[in-house]
Amino acid sequence: MKKTILKAYKYRMYPTPEEVVFLNKTFGCCRFVYNYFLAEKQRCFKEEKKSLSHSECSKKLPELKKEFPWLQEVPSVTLQQSLLHLNTAFRKFYKKEARFPKAKKKRADQSASFMKNAFTYEKGKLTLAKMKKPLDVIYSRKFQNQPSSLSISKSSSGKFYVSFLVEEEIETLRRVDQTVGVDLGLTHAFVTSDGDKQEPCKALKKSLKKLRRKQKDLSKKKKGSANRTKAKKKVALVHEKVRNQRLDAIHKTTHKLVSENQAICVEDLSVKNLMKNKKLARGISDAGWGTFLRILEYKSDWYGREFVQVDRFFPSSKTCHCCKKMYEALSLKERAWVCLECEALHDRDINAAQNIKEEGLRILGWSTVGHTGFKVCGADVRPMWQTTG
């Protein structure tokens, strides 16, 4: 069975000095438009007590281009897309999915979006609007269809990338009888209900000594000097390597879980709130729980797998997997414990993963006997751990 999806392909590119100047101008204009209308929205709300809509901002853009003629040196599509990004940022803020939008900085990562009418892509050659020659892109993977849009980005370390958005048809994986429960942790990246304990990547921990040394060198450099710029680039390269190592490990583990299991049950963690714990924040950030869950969810959707998250207040660690007896007094230090009811010896993490799996299959309405995945009646009844008396 085939499924149509939107897939992004990201490649490294090596622009010439002239192309670097043009791309930097594009980034600067997009940043200027974003910051200008962000300030306008704030001013309008403060002085006139009303919200400035996206359509009103779009109508003011031609006047802004007349006031600042250098905005006409870059493709107009990128400026319109910058307005759309601002509108999306405010929409997420109103839905309480993100913080209030902040002004974009010149020294941070830069990006510009191009729609289909702002570039040409033929036989592996990409040419942007208002550019005469195609860009030098290193294609590590091939895609068949024409890209619907693309994004040019520049990292803090000075590297240029292009990301194509392509509509593709992928083959869903063959149905299997295996199901799994996954318990995320810090000692281990995750523990499955089958007893498999995945060792964590710990990319940040491995590079922490080097990062501290580079940051110490940066702090000694004079602000505004060329040496400070070089030192900042070295710090950015360390952060980039850590991010790439973490993403590589997450992609490999999620691919394995999706390939081997028909249903994947995980806990609905509030990573944002957990990061407020100063003792655990660095470990959680290094583990990449939020990225792991996000990638696992969309890969499950791509390949026809079931992805379910159980309630974050479900007592998976404090409930005996065998007899369902719950122990409220069980402390976090107890990594192995014996059930007083059925005398079963439990590994805390494996027991939690087994309970997550059972609860996840109950939510899906699947039978847990034999892991066949057939639906059974009475699947939507209230779970035992929420009942009283």
- Active site residue ranges: 183, 267, 349
CA 213 to centroid of chain Cα atoms: 28
Task: Compute the distance between CA of residue 15 and CA of residue 126 in angstroms, rounded to an integer.
Answer: 12
Count of Cβ atoms closer than 10 Å to residue 274 Cβ: 15
* Packing angle, helices 289-302 and 226-260, rounded to 10: 50
Q: Where are the beta strands (DSSP E) in the chain?
A: 2-13, 110-115, 119-122, 125-128, 137-138, 149-154, 160-171, 179-184, 190-192, 197-198, 263-267, 306-310, 336-338, 345-347
Task: Compute the distance between CA of residue 172 and CA of residue 48 in angstroms, rounded to an integer.
Answer: 53
Task: Compute the distance between CA of residue 253 and CA of residue 275 in angstroms, rounded to an integer.
Answer: 23
Q: What are phi and psi of 219, to 5 degrees?
A: -65, -20
Q: What is the DSSP letter of 380?
A: T
